[in-house]
Chain A
Amino acid sequence: DTAVSQTPKYLVTQMGNDKSIKCEQNLGHDTMYWYKQDSKKFLKIMFSYNNKELIINETVPNRFSPKSPDKAHLNLHINSLELGDSAVYFCASSQPGPGLAGEQQYFGPGTRLTVL
């Protein structure tokens, strides 16, 4: 019974295309995140959502548009894909604690995006 799931696991596409990644958590958490991990394994926060509301947008290009239809889902749509978007994208969830980010984040398995 997967706690945080993402689809697809792999995504290979051409420059200029539009693609979406879906994320679902069954932990009952209020907060969900998108992270980008580049080839050097640097893990950078992109977005935080709490109770379906966007809280953080970390200077991500507006080609990236997250959508949270409900607390259990946070999807990521990317327009006009560029070579530099190639990375692994992780969805995560947590229950807010002091500082609100939550002590423990649960990560999905990741989506490896390759832009050709």
Chain B
Amino acid sequence: GQSLEQPSEVTAVEGAIVQINCTYQTSGFYGLSWYQQHDGGAPTFLSYNALDGLEETGRFSSFLSRSDSYGYLLLQELQMKDSASYFCAANTGGFKTIFGAGTRLFVKA
């Protein structure tokens, strides 16, 4: 079957750096997206990697290695407002996106 694996929970302190890993197993693959979801809210897009390497958007960066079927989201200078769930999602082709189960990030003061 097709699946994405990511840790269920991560805890870090304000100002720190945290990395959320995602490994995927899909029959087709065009790219990896990351979404943030606060409690009671909707998922919001953070980044997309179609090619190997690092994409940087402000405090957030995302990395992809297609040969390893692996990606990660890096959050720098953590703030309390970054406490949320983070989902990796694979674009598998044919108008289909498969989401991981999400990583709950707790940021402590």
Contact = CB atoms under 8 A, between A and B. Distances in A.
Contacts, number: 79
Interface string B48-83: 101000000000000000000000000000000000
Q: Is chain A's interface secondary structure helix, strand, loop, or mixed overall? A: loop
B33 interface: yes
Contacts of B43: 43, 90, 105, 107
B93 A100 contact: yes
B94 interface: yes
B96 A109 contact: no
A104 B94 contact: no
Contacts of A11: none
Contact of A110 (B31, B35, B42, B45): B42
Interface string A94-109: 0011111111111111
Interface of B: 28-31, 33, 35, 37, 41-45, 48, 50, 85, 87, 91-99, 101-102
